[in-house]
Chain A
């Protein structure tokens, strides 16, 4: 069986590389957390994986097909099989919540309106926002908006869903609700999730496996228990809240991300 997502020797960045040597495989039905501190390049990597930022080198394979080797139409086609929930929710401010969530169905399928309405109703119920169809995104709280964005990202029952910081900046109760929703999505819809986050609690709750970025590369990979026991300073510091020494020199970063030699 082919992996849903595979990165091969991927180098991402804008003009200069931000993250290099990314080799990553995500199998079906996994929940994988992409960890890392602020500014480590998690979101840039996600932009490349979701087709928004061509890589500087290497390949991104979605469902076994190389994303950036396809013509634009084929790329768009492939992306419809994935869903993305953005960090800033990215709900369309000029549309109601119902229209926001229905948008992919209306644009990409020829389903009758009544059916689309029913699917939106179901999805809103699943994220705990029943009856919010007619509300405008501006009238929702941060947590509600994130849940609405999640509903939109999964409306086509995409097999692979990316979430950028789904629970960052939310209170613990709302964050826990989001985590529950994500787990429920996997259980009921069988979706595979790649979650970018720096919230340790939520990683422990939901992820089967985590990949940690630091110093411009993947510095550790494994189950949460394995990472918690890791002696690599960057990983240890991340899980046990140890501030790193203030430094930007290359050798010092290598020492932090690779463990003491």
Chain B
């Protein structure tokens, strides 16, 4: 049980509150409750605070007293302070005579929110066109040998994006190929058509799954990494440093990444296609005793070069979507570390969305044409 901080006595229409002990954070809640209760009583016209028994006062004690003082003032009552020691008086002098209300923070209305989103999206589109235009112009300069890319940067990026991604893309392609093969064998065997599993699996791997798996992994590994790296560079003014050196940041940072993913994305996709089909081959030979040579010859007969081209072109577009959105959102990071997190999140969300969207367009076009 904490000690009581105040005892109240009545003196006619006045209430005399004798305060005791330290008026600090541990006692502030009790003090404030007690004082506001006294201040609210209808029959009390003035409150006298007796500081005779008070030890230390900290900001919470002062805040409680000054808040109650303002409540009393508003209801036309009086507050008197007695037995104030010099150090208490000095502490109360901290309270500003006139307290300015904090400036209200305007709540964003729904309409304003929509407007802000539209403006933000418009800024994004403008940023996108300017980055694509400038990177394109720089690419022309590099191609015509008037400017050069930073030495070794494309190769380093290919290593990071492609070679270091081989393991994870390979594992996923294998597992998905295997799962699809089991599904196919189970369903098709019911009609005695188990052998057609090779056609089904190879076609879906080459045209759909390999580009998609690769793109999703590249988004998580590479797109997020591009956004985080460029975002951090922006926040640490490293991009500004490049600009003041007269080095074009788009040529120095974005172009090598876009070029690297142009090779790494389709290469990983091609690998994923064959690993997926190999997984199918293993399943086929284990479940329906289809010999490997028969499996591959069915595929060679069934999957045309056009199917491979379809998968690889999609993969190229997906790769560009990933590299460009990573660069765009990374470059748009400003100010603080949370903006780098935002940039990464947006890159992943926007890339995945656009990739699925483009994929759907391809599927529709392929069916109609």
- A108 contacts B245, C-beta separation under 8 Å: yes
- B247 contacts A108, C-beta separation under 8 Å: yes
Given that A86-B237, A88-B236, A90-B237 are contacting pairs, would A52 and B245 also be in contact in the complex, using a CB cutoff of 8 Å?
no
Q: Check: A80 CB closer than 8 A to any chain B CB.
A: yes
Q: Check: A93 CB closer than 8 A to any chain B CB.
A: yes
- B245 contacts A51, C-beta separation under 8 Å: no
In the complex, which residues of chain A have a beta carbon less than 8 angstroms from the beta carbon of B151?
A: 106
In the complex, which residues of chain A have a beta carbon less than 8 angstroms from the beta carbon of B150?
A: 106-107
- A79 contacts B252, C-beta separation under 8 Å: no
- A88 contacts B246, C-beta separation under 8 Å: no
- B241 contacts A84, C-beta separation under 8 Å: yes
Given that A107-B150, A107-B252 are contacting pairs, would A86 and B246 also be in contact in the complex, using a CB cutoff of 8 Å?
no
Which residues of A73-89 have CB atoms within 8 Å of chain B's CB atoms?
76-80, 82-84, 86-88
User: When chains A and B are docked, how far (Å) is the Cα of A258 from the Cα of B151?
Assistant: 54
Q: Which residue of B lies closest to A79 (CB)?
A: B246
Q: Check: B193 CB closer than 8 A to any chain A CB.
A: no
- B244 contacts A79, C-beta separation under 8 Å: yes
CB distance from A23 to the nearest CB of B (A): 23
B227-253 to A contact mask, C-beta < 8 Å, 1/0: 001001100111011011111100010
- B236 contacts A93, C-beta separation under 8 Å: yes
- Among the interface residues B238, B243, B244, B245, which one has the most CB atoms of the partner chain A within 10 A? B244
Q: Identify which of B233, B241, B248, B252 contacts A86 (C-beta below 8 A).
A: B241
Which residues of A204-218 have CB atoms within 8 Å of chain B's CB atoms?
none
- B252 contacts A52, C-beta separation under 8 Å: no
CB distance from B215 to the nearest CB of A (A): 26
CB distance from B308 to the nearest CB of A (A): 36
User: When chains A and B are docked, how far (Å) is the Cα of A31 from the Cα of B366?
Assistant: 68
Given that A106-B151, A107-B150, A107-B252 are contacting pairs, would A51 and B244 also be in contact in the complex, using a CB cutoff of 8 Å?
yes
A66-104 to B contact mask, C-beta < 8 Å, 1/0: 000000100011111011101110111110000000011
Q: Check: A50 CB closer than 8 A to any chain B CB.
A: yes
B42-58 to A contact mask, C-beta < 8 Å, 1/0: 00000000000000000
Given that A90-B237, A93-B236 are contacting pairs, would A84 and B244 also be in contact in the complex, using a CB cutoff of 8 Å?
yes
Which residues of A182-196 have CB atoms within 8 Å of chain B's CB atoms?
none
CB distance from A134 to the nearest CB of B (A): 17
User: When chains A and B are docked, how far (Å) is the Cα of A87 from the Cα of B245?
Assistant: 15
- Among the interface residues A82, A83, A104, which one has the most CB atoms of the partner chain B within 10 A? A104
- Among the interface residues B233, B238, B241, which one has the most CB atoms of the partner chain A within 10 A? B241
- A104 contacts B240, C-beta separation under 8 Å: no
User: When chains A and B are docked, how far (Å) is the Cα of A76 from the Cα of B251?
Assistant: 13
In the complex, which residues of chain A have a beta carbon less than 8 angstroms from the beta carbon of B232?
A: 93
Q: Identify which of A51, A93, A94, A107 contacts B247 (C-beta below 8 A).
A: A107
Complex A-B: 26 CB contacts under 8 Å: A51-B243, A52-B243, A76-B243, A76-B246, A76-B248, A77-B246, A78-B246, A79-B243, A79-B245, A79-B246, A80-B245, A80-B246, A83-B244, A88-B237, A90-B237, A90-B238, A90-B241, A92-B233, A93-B232, A93-B238, A104-B245, A104-B246, A106-B150, A106-B151, A107-B252, A108-B247
Known A72-B134, A91-B238, A107-B247; further 13 A-B contacts with Cβ < 8 A:
A51-B243, A79-B244, A79-B246, A83-B244, A86-B241, A88-B236, A88-B237, A90-B236, A90-B240, A93-B238, A107-B150, A107-B245, A108-B246
Residues of A participating in the B interface, judged by any CB pair closer than 8 Å? 47, 50-52, 72, 76-80, 82-84, 86-88, 90-94, 103-104, 106-108
The 8 closest A-B pairs by CB, nearest first: A80-B246, A90-B241, A84-B244, A76-B246, A79-B246, A90-B237, A50-B244, A104-B245
